[in-house]
């Protein structure tokens, strides 16, 4: 049976919520993981690495929720050594997966990007995300959806929660009323909401700008 979704990053925060959502809706799927997920059938999983990407099974939509983990300060100023690693994942690997999917007749793609992504940004993180988006647009998919959320809320590994994350979430909650109009897209947002809206935006074209910044091509 043809899968509706191929999902990269299902073990992560947003990817995990996306997986739960498609399972709840009874969708057929296949997962590509770096390590096997214990709670998922081995038949529904394929192990991969950046140096070894197996052939894709038939599917309608590729979902990419991967990204190299960065500290808050690295989002602002990224050391040279981190730039290379970050680019290899968030640009090179994402594009390789997208091109491979298109060659395998997968017509739709959903990608988690970042609010403020812009190829002309002076910020390396946002510039890389913007270049990634531009290159994916050139491939030829029928439907392209970029989710550009602000800071994601949800249960994280304690090693990923530093003082800056706590401050962002604390002040984001207190001053959330100030994020109106053009600033709304910068609000903290639940990863669960992002996953739900990402799937919903594929199923029906609707304005979701009040929930999540996104682009549908």
- Give the separation between CA 216 and CA 147, rounded to whole angstroms: 9
pLDDT for position 20: 94
Measured CA to CA, the distance from residue 62 to residue 51 in angstroms comes to 19
pLDDT per residue of the chain (217 residues) written in tens, 0 to 9: 589 999 999 999 899 999 999 999 999 999 999 999 998 999 999 999 999 999 999 999 999 999 998 877 787 889 998 999 999 999 999 999 999 999 999 999 999 999 889 999 999 999 999 999 999 999 999 888 898 887 666 665 555 544 444 444 433 455 454 544 454 555 667 889 889 888 888 876 543 333 345 444 4
How far, in Å, CA of 38 to CA of 104, rounded? 28
Count of other CB atoms within 10 angstroms of residue 122:
7
For 65-131, strand residue ranges (E) read 108-112
At 43 the pLDDT is 92
Distance CA 3, CA 43 (A): 13
DSSP state of 7: E
Tell me, what's the pLDDT at 201? 82
**Helix/strand/coil for 216:** strand
Specify whether the CB–CB gap between 129 and 90 falls below 8 A: yes
Query: Residue 76 corresponds to which tokens in the numbers above?
Result: 């602002």
User: Which residues lie below 8 Å from residue 71, measured CB to CB, with a gap of 6+?
Assistant: 162, 164
Q: Are strands 143-148 and 213-216 parallel, antiparallel or unpaired?
A: antiparallel
Question: According to the model, what pLDDT value does residue 62 have?
Answer: 97
3-state SS, residue 5: strand
State pLDDT tens for residues 95-147: 999 999 999 999 999 999 998 899 999 999 999 999 999 999 999 998 888 98
Threshold 0.85, pTM exceeds: no
90 with 57: CB under 8 angstroms? no
Q: If you ran DSSP here, which 8-state letter would residue 92 be given?
A: I
The whole-number pLDDT of residue 157 equals 59
Q: Give strand pairing partners of 13.
A: none
Cα distance between residue 196 and residue 178, in whole Å:
25
What is the set of domains in the chain, with CATH numbers?
3-216 (3.40.50.720)
pLDDT at residue 170, rounded to an integer: 37
């Amino acid at each position: 049976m043809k899968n509706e979704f191929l999902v990269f990053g299902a073990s992560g925060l947003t990817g995990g919520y996306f997986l739960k959502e498609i399972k709840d809706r009874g969708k057929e799927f296949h997962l590509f993981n770096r390590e096997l997920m214990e709670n998922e059938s081995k038949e529904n999983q394929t192990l991969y690495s950046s140096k070894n990407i197996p052939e894709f099974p038939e599917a309608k939509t590729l979902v990419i929720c991967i990204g190299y983990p960065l500290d808050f300060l690295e989002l602002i100023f990224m050391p040279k050594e981190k730039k290379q690693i970050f680019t290899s994942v968030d640009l090179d690997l994402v594009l390789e997966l997208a091109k491979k999917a298109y060659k395998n007749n997968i017509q739709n793609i959903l990608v988690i990007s970042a609010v403020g992504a812009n190829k002309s940004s002076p910020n390396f993180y946002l510039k890389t995300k913007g270049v990634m988006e531009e290159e994916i647009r050139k491939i030829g998919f029928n439907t392209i959806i970029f989710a550009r959320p602000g800071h994601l809320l949800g249960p994280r590994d304690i090693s990923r929660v530093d003082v800056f994350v706590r401050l962002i979430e604390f002040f984001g909650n207190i001053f959330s009323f100030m994020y109106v109009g053009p600033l709304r897209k910068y609000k903290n947002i639940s990863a669960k909401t992002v996953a739900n809206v990402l799937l919903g935006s594929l199923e029906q074209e609707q304005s979701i700008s009040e929930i999540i910044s996104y682009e549908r091509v």
